[in-house]
Structures are given as structure tokens and as C-alpha cells.
Homo-oligomer: A and B are copies of this chain.
Amino acid sequence: MSTATAKLLHGEPLSLDDRAEVDSLVVGARTVGARVDLISKGDDPQHVHVIVEGFACRYKLLPGGQRAIVGLFVPGDVCDVHVGLLGVMDHAIGTITECLVKRIPHQEIEALMVKRPPIRRALSWSTLVDEGILRQWLTVNGRLRSDERIAHLFCEIHARLTAVDRAGRDGFQLPLTQEDLADMLGMSAVHVNRVLQVLRSREIVTQQDRWLRFPDRERTVAFAQFDPDYLHMKPRAGGAA
């Protein structure tokens, strides 16, 4: 079962047949280097992108040169299912790490959605979840303390990676720089650095090599006020153990 299938199963039960269909979509993915745009602002994209492996993000650049990251893609995520309706992109999508990416013509996706209603529902579910994540980021960035914000983001990434079986029980490999984190959280990189030190000293998280761990996951979740309901995951029989 592909990563994309694993993710979609959290939203909609899919028959073995449907799963095979989704799996076949992502064969022949190509490798894209780190820090490369998949879609640039101003493009009129004709392809849906599936991130099979690696981390990518949506971002906006402001006139002042500042960057805001307004979305994170982890393995299994699908970018812009309904692309092609809007015309010109008002932001860009770029890789963070090296990624395995499959480009799919949007007509192909639309044909599939017509042919296979469960897949249509699964894809629509995933866009609704994306919207929910956006709302949660807005909430968290606007109303939580900066230490809680960082911890909340880590909890979210952990939950999303767990859904596609890319995380350990108490941590995951974090490929984001402190500057990436800052641009997601609306903070300065320097402040991210200092707050991270506090989180480590309080053992809310630990960091070794590239792994971020929660010594006490319950405690971190409570600290971050993390409630995963906004991810709308229905743990399914047949999913990852």
C-alpha cells in the first residue's frame, strides 16, 4: 500500500480495488532536490502533485522579503486537488527536503473522481482537512504563547507522520530548520532558537541527531493544548498497526 493510500484511508474506507487505483497513480514519481519550487507564484498549474516522500511547503513571499509558510506537506499529502479551477497561483509550493514527487494531470484526477466516488470522497476529505489545519494554525499562532505554538506544531507533525507510518511512538525525524519553523509560526528564527532551548530544558522535547522526541508525550500534548480533532482522522482497521 502506498503512502498516499495510507493517508486517504484515514478519511474514507477504500476497497482493495480503489486502493490499487490510488497506488497506481503514484508510480513513476521523480526525485526533486531540496529547496526547489514545484509550483511558483503566478503559474497556472495543470498538475496535481503528490508528495510521496520528503517534506514540502506552501509559502508566500512579502514585498519586504519576508517569507510566510502557510502549509506543510508530509509524505502522502496531495497538493491542490482542485487545481485548474482558480487559474493563477497566489503563492508557491516548494520542497524543503529532497522529495519524491508524482505529478498528475488534473484531468486524470477529475476522471478518477468521476469514476470512483469513494476516491472522490477521500480526496475531498483531504482538502477539508487541509482547511482545518489552516484554521488551527491561525488559531494557535494568534492565541497561544510561543512555547506552546512550537510544541503544538511538533504534535501536529507527529500525528500526521504517524498516520502514514513515518513516526516512532515518541518522536520523529525533523528536517525543518529553525528558520522554517519560524516562518510557519510567525516568529523570528532567533526567538525560535531560544524557545526551543527552554522546551528542551523543561524536557517538553528532546533533540538528538535529527530526531525530535517527546520524553512524555501526554505531557507535551497537554502543554501544547493539542487536540487532534481538527485532523479528522478516523483510525481504520487495516491501517498501520
Contact = CB atoms under 8 A, between A and B. Distances in A.
Contact of A85 (B124, B130, B136): B124
A138 interface: yes
Interface string A107-140: 0000000000000010011011111101111110
A176 interface: no
Given A124-B85, A132-B90, A70 B138 contact: yes
18 contacts: A58-B135, A62-B144, A63-B225, A68-B138, A68-B139, A68-B143, A85-B128, A88-B229, A88-B232, A90-B136, A90-B229, A90-B230, A90-B232, A91-B230, A131-B134, A138-B141, A141-B186, A143-B186
A215 interface: no
Nearest to A88: B229
Interface residues of A, number: 42
A82 interface: yes
A185 interface: yes
A100 B124 CA distance: 29
